[in-house]
Amino acid sequence: MRNAIIAANLLYEAGDILSDENMKEIYDCVEINKLAQAILNRGTKFNTRDIEVLVKAAGAMDDDHDFERDGHRWTNDVLNKYAEHVYNYQYTYKPEAQQIDPNIDPQEEHVGPMAQDLEQVNPAVVHEDPKTGYKTVDTGRLALMNAGAIADLAREIKELKHG
């Protein structure tokens, strides 16, 4: 675990300047799951390389992309799926939702995407209760997916601004 902690600190300090070859060397020296745990234990903000490790450790991001098969770059298809399927809604939960989570207040208004929309972008972020058919969002996986999408958009914006 000591090597994982050292590697996690290296990613934090130098993640933005590490090359793909540097990352390959890190992956060859440190087990990915231990590295991901060390990054999470560090508890600081994630940079692009941290996110890459965390998503790689989580496995496939969606049906169209897998780190082991496709490498670390997202396809434009992921961002296109966001644009095509994900919208913010204002909603309240049905009273039956308290069967899944007793802390849900059916009177409280929420704003955000629906599980059914997110499922079209990345089915791995949605869980369906086999008994009730209710769908819930795995917010941890969603956060990783969103972080990757935000990083891609930031790179695109930077390229557009600077040619």
What are 44-55's pLDDT values in tens digits?
677 777 777 877
Last residue of a domain, one of 58, 76, 94: 58
Place of tokens 């972008």: 121
For 38-96, what is the HEC assignment?
A: HHHHHCCCCCHHHHHHHHHHHCCCECCECHHHHCCCCCHHHHHHHHHHCCCEEECCCHH
Same domain, 74 and 138: yes
Same domain, 5 and 35: yes
| Whole-number pLDDT of residue 61 | 46
Same domain, 54 and 81: no
Locate 33 and state its tokens. Answer: 């799951």
Same domain, 46 and 86: no
Helix (H) or strand (E) holding 117: helix 115-121
Q: Are 52 and 32 in contact (CB under 8 A)?
A: no
Q: Are 46 and 60 in contact (CB under 8 A)?
A: no
Place of tokens 């169209």: 64
Same domain, 108 and 130: yes
Q: Are 120 and 81 in contact (CB under 8 A)?
A: yes
Same domain, 82 and 159: yes
Same domain, 44 and 72: no
Q: Which of 5-14, 30-39, 43-52, 145-154 has the lowest mean pLDDT?
A: 43-52
| Whole-number pLDDT of residue 60 | 42
User: Does the pLDDT at position 88 exceed 60?
Assistant: yes
Tell me which residue range forms the domain holding 2: 1-58
Same domain, 72 and 37: no
Domain with residue 102: its CATH number is 1.10.10
Mean local confidence (pLDDT), 53-62? 63
Instruction: Give 68's pLDDT tier (boundaries 50, 70, 90).
Output: low
Same domain, 53 and 74: no
Give the count of domains, the chain. 2
Same domain, 42 and 114: no
Q: Are 134 and 140 in contact (CB under 8 A)?
A: no
Mean local confidence (pLDDT), 18-31? 85
